[in-house]
Chain A
């Protein structure tokens, strides 16, 4: 498909799409937010009115065309309005991770030269006040929640609702200006600037145009036949491209309703109350939910546990086939039906997935066992492969062709190519314009013909034609004997166990593989409680001998399963240790989207890594930690290093001889 330069029916920007939605679906719900225990609702017409008030308020504060407006807060309608309002006045919204530390925020705001920031509460206001002096262009800050801010100097600080009031009051003065600015927006205007999570190095500002976002939203909505009746729960970080596409891109294109949870802690309850029809989550969320289910089943009575195990086994056998509409024996179908009544239905309801018609997971590879679990319940969970630079969509799995080891076929309008090095390249209407203020990176990522390097290695599956991603091209390495080293594959196998939250496998240029492991506090804590094991802290629990034994068991099981795969048998984990702290984005060990930063981890814990390879049995270490408010402290611990049994394989014997 050639790049379309003309927008369909003049819908070339989000303010224009908003107009259409008000015209065609004015009385349908556009936003809901649970507040004070009730779902508060705004129709498209009401939302448009709010957005106009914000836009007028921004004009009143002196926003110019081309200004950057930083937006930091959890998913609330106000921030979604602020984004479209910013676009209406010709400014560019820059959503920022609200949990990022002050320096990270300073980097982003300084890099784009934001003049305005729209933030949630005192926490964000304080953070920006701290960094304000280093920001030369910064002027006004607008906050939504006034709590604790009454005494602040309000010279350049404004309350969101007051700004709206002032905007409404000044309507006559600015209405024509707003109209003029809105009419200037074209398919080429910048829609949003999103910062990459930065697994390697500093974040880069990805400039996405209206064309990128609208084309990507349009084609993906058609692919899955999304309609205005869909319900989504907006709970993913607003600074992530995924949320922008789902909660703004597709929501405006299809005119469906975006539901915002009451608080981060109530997400699960809110999910169940809304029962979304279209759901998107990174693998981490599915892992956590599965862990919770398994913990609760551990606490259930023996009979219930047995019933659950029996039906889950049956579901694993026939569930995915039934979902794909493949022929299944009558007897199996009957028992699946019984299971649906007793187990699967109630379980899906508890998880909030009763109504899910289309579910996606992306951002990282999902463990095959986790993926199968949800599909066997009859939840149409699919994988997609994408990145910020592509406005999300590169490949998607079509209904009925879902497999856990592929990421699907090229999304509509996307061309794919595999380079000789194995790296995947794509070209699409969603391909980003440029990295802001970074022409070198732009040139090295996107060639003049528009092909973009993904940085991931992959190949097309010969039987199905679907794309298979092996790993990040940078992460895939070679072991000392030249064999393929694919850490993520092993890590995902480890992470399937509820007790293991995170794993980092090492082995590049080494003789054998080793791993750092993070225990899952909720799963292990629950187990400790049931077994009368007292503990005072994460660290103490992580170092408990019985827990180390359990983890050792898991690692050895993974080794056995790896041994069956001739390609990866040599990636068995020979030695491992359980880390004394949880890997955390505040310490720079993970990105804000919770992907591990391998280089940072191996540098930071180089003493531990060395100990894994020098044969020592334990090691004393001190680690610096950053608290949420930015203060630093240190924790120290003596960690045991454990040898896991590995299965001898043919290839290893050959290598040994």
Chain B
């Protein structure tokens, strides 16, 4: 079923659509270091796609290629059926790809609300002049954006810290605020770089629930990198496994779990 390019419905009733993003033979080099070697995979609409692998496998580099932060030396990125030319990260963001960072990148001195509002940048169209005068179109636009942001705040249950400066928040909440900001952009693909790194079990459970609810309620397409195998296997529809910049497995969590190359990469093998 997964080999066909057609939309289907999962057992639990979610609709998985057609391929929205396709990575074709991506190779990324930093000088002599080959971070990603000839990797191809795709992301379908409405699915949760995980990228896993041991430390230094090239997962974050892969995410950076998707978000336009790195431009690969070889290979093509196809997005919504079109080949994507070389782009700056902000141009990629405008296309509807939002992300969170492994080591949180929020405006520490600003409140949660203001941080999430910055995520609405793509939806703000009034000119600098109009915003300076504020009354009229800029005000209407801000009200509309605030409404959208408040819905996200409600969804992620961060009402109680709405007016708190981000710098004062604990790590787990900062991660949630970062997710809120990414969501505020109403992305067609949401990239999460280790959303659960450094969290305790309870925070991980909360975050997993938010990711599942997001996917379920809004049909968001999510690509995530994660270390915690338990979380990955529970959450994702399909998993790409990387090791030393190469793809060593791709498929449903069950398929990946049985894959000998994956087991070797994770558990290690004795050299003969």
Contacts and interface: CB of A to CB of B under 8 A. Distances in A.
Contacts of B162: 37
A147 B160 contact: no
Interface stretch (A258-266, A461-469, A479-487, A554-562): A258-266
A150 B155 CA distance: 15
Interface stretch (B53-61, B81-89, B145-153, B260-268): B145-153
B154 A36 contact: yes
Contacts of B159: 37, 262-263, 265-266
A269 interface: yes
Given A147-B217, A148-B216, A150-B217, A36 B151 contact: yes
Interface string B127-171: 000000000000000000011001101110101101000000000
B13 interface: yes
Contacts of A263: 157, 159-160
A36 B216 contact: no
Contacts of B217: 147-148, 150
A269 B160 contact: yes
Contacts of B147: 36
Interface string A264-293: 011001000000000000000000000000
A273 to B, nearest CB: 12
A37 B146 CA distance: 9
A37 B151 CA distance: 9
Interface residues of B, number: 18
Max chain A Cβ within 10 angstroms of own Cβ: one of B12, B13, B147, B154 = B154
A266 B160 contact: yes
A262 B162 CA distance: 12
Interface in A34-69: 35-38
B213 interface: yes
A190 B216 CA distance: 42
**Interface residue range, chain A:** 10 to 19
Contacts of B13: 150-151
Interface in B173-220: 209, 212-213, 216-217
Contacts of B212: 148
Contacts of B146: 37
A151 B160 contact: no
A150 B150 contact: no
Nearest to A268: B160
A148 to B, nearest CB: 6
A242 B227 CA distance: 49
Contacts of A36: 147, 150-151, 153-154
A262 B151 CA distance: 13
Interface in A87-141: none
Interface string A232-267: 000000000000000000000000000000110110
A439 B12 CA distance: 49
A59 B173 CA distance: 44
Interface in A356-382: none
A265 B160 contact: yes
A36 B13 CA distance: 29
A147 B157 CA distance: 12
A35 B12 CA distance: 31
29 contacts: A35-B154, A36-B147, A36-B150, A36-B151, A36-B153, A36-B154, A37-B146, A37-B150, A37-B153, A37-B159, A37-B162, A38-B150, A147-B155, A147-B213, A148-B209, A148-B212, A148-B217, A150-B13, A150-B216, A150-B217, A151-B13, A262-B159, A263-B157, A263-B159, A263-B160, A265-B159, A265-B160, A266-B160, A269-B160
Interface of A: 35-38, 147-148, 150-151, 262-263, 265-266, 269
Q: Which A-B residue pairs are the 9 nearest by beta carbons?
A: A265-B160, A36-B150, A37-B150, A266-B160, A262-B159, A151-B13, A263-B159, A266-B159, A148-B213
Interface of B: 12-13, 146-147, 150-151, 153-155, 157, 159-160, 162, 209, 212-213, 216-217
Given A38-B150, A263-B157, 13 more contacts: A36-B147, A36-B151, A37-B146, A147-B213, A147-B217, A148-B213, A148-B216, A150-B13, A151-B12, A263-B159, A265-B159, A266-B159, A269-B160
